[in-house]
Structure 1
């Protein structure tokens, strides 16, 4: 395993490349990105060793695709057309069903592995890449049985380098669960930010009055709309389901406020405190 091509050298792709370069320096990392400035940054920051173009993946041992999910659906079949029979192609999108369907009948489906490393920040671009971003984090793998066993082993070598935990899940279950634990939290952050911006017209008031609670809750609203809009579109049905349940809880909270039923509000918050036990150890 000598040549790895990373398509999309932003936060996720750049962080993967950093881990591989740090722990396996003999591997050459080639970067492919439609934004030439990203490639120049990635090269200057030593995230990649060389710039490349899509047709160069014919020389790849592994291709790692970390681009928005709508672009991934289009590009993955083209990548599989180009690679050799011995090449592993992985992607890291936040949705899985549409991506898996896009390649389900491809002659080289066995070369593809659908993954979702559950890690990230609200920042984007090569400068956002972080060494050790994935350490101890979970990586969801979907439809592993459809990937050639020897190529699965290549992937596991990479995941071991990144010190990730592995969980297997079908694409439908992945998209349903991730709507609750990831997609809904991003929508909540965006809409909280929208509400405050619309109400507090004076930006200085927001800056002066915002405490750490507001900052941490709205942090995800700084995420890239170019990345998240396609995610919501691909996972529309699951996202709507989660929103309905969330809105029902908000409506119930509002009604208790109106009825001065603060005992019920206390009980709701106390029972929800259990979330700290579930999430214990997650930074």
Structure 2
């Protein structure tokens, strides 16, 4: 029987607990969350068997699923608390700064930097779903710096919950995520704010909101407590992505203002190519 401890029992931590319970029903899964309501809900839902503020020294693996601005301090503290045979992983959405700061840590070989590309716009343990990770990509950074035996345990776990492993440099990870994930959230938050400002004058605007608006603004329901730290932690890459987006948006605006139908058609046809990349079928 393995002992797994999860710190942060929201969407990712709670869902991972459910996934582990499904494939490893005999494993002991403990956890902790700073939010008393989340802690109580996690126990009520049976996400964990019991609350532990400090992982046991013989815990096999500790998963950190808290906001990115808490991870460095929490990672260092956790490594101090566990024994030499415990693996510690974080689920953070940024990896560059954390990997740089951990580079010379005396227990660096007990740490594995991972990022599951899984989630929804909902948060908290009530949003946890046992199939959240099923078939999803898991990015692993600097795998060569982790002890081979501990890394083997991680691979066994991720294979058991049916995740697809990908390996990336931390800097490349942060740059790519800024464009395909972080920018999407910025756009959604700003679109939601733009429309909400308009409703101050036109109360019935949401009566005209269709599925297109709903899908585009869905991410605006995401947790600010999670996303504000991500934007700031990955600031350089997020600003680069936003600058590029603003440039394209300004060009699009100019073509509309000028009545440039050929230009608009060309830009939209170019954007349509995203369907081929994402394998979206008509």
TM bin (shorter chain): over 0.9
Asked whether the equivalents of residues 33 and 39 of structure 2 are also in contact (C-alpha less than 8 Å), the reply is yes
Describe the superposition over 1:153-204 as per-residue Cα deviations: whole angstroms up to 9, x where unpaired: 1101111122111110111000000000000000000000011111121685
Question: Using a 3 Å threshold, how does the CA distance of structure 1 residues 259 and 67 change in structure 2: closer, same or farther?
Answer: same
| Deviation of 1:281 (Å) | 6.3
What stretches of structure 1 of length at least 5 have no aligned partner?
none
Instruction: Please name the residue that 2:150 is paired with.
Output: 151
**1:126/1:170 CA distance change after superposition, 3 Å:** same
Q: Quote the residue 1:276 is aligned against.
A: 275
TM-score normalised per structure 2: 0.97
Aligned residues of 1:73 and 1:98 also touching (Cα < 8 A):
no
Q: CA deviation at 1:59?
A: 3.2
Aligned to 1:259: 258
| 1:120 alignment partner in structure 2 | 119
The answer to whether 1:234 aligns with 2:233 is yes
- Report the equivalent of 2:77: 78
Structure 1's consecutive aligned runs of 4 or more residues displaced over 6 angstroms after TM superposition are none
- In 2, distance between residues paired with 1:222 and 1:182? 15
Q: TM-score, normalised by structure 1?
A: 0.96
Q: Take 2:272 and 2:131, find their aligned partners in 1: how far apart are those partners?
A: 30
- Aligned Cα root-mean-square deviation (Å): 1.4
Instruction: Report the CA distance between 1:267 and its aligned residue.
Output: 1.2
CA distance in 1, matches of 2:202, 2:51: 41
d(CA) in 2 for partners of 1:89, 1:198: 44
Q: How many residues align?
A: 281
CA contact 1:10–1:124 (8 Å) conserved in 2? yes
The superposition leaves residues 232-276 of structure 1 with CA deviations (integer Å, 9 ceiling, x where unpaired) of: 111000011011100000000011111111111111111211111
- What SS class does the counterpart of residue 204 from structure 2 fall into? helix
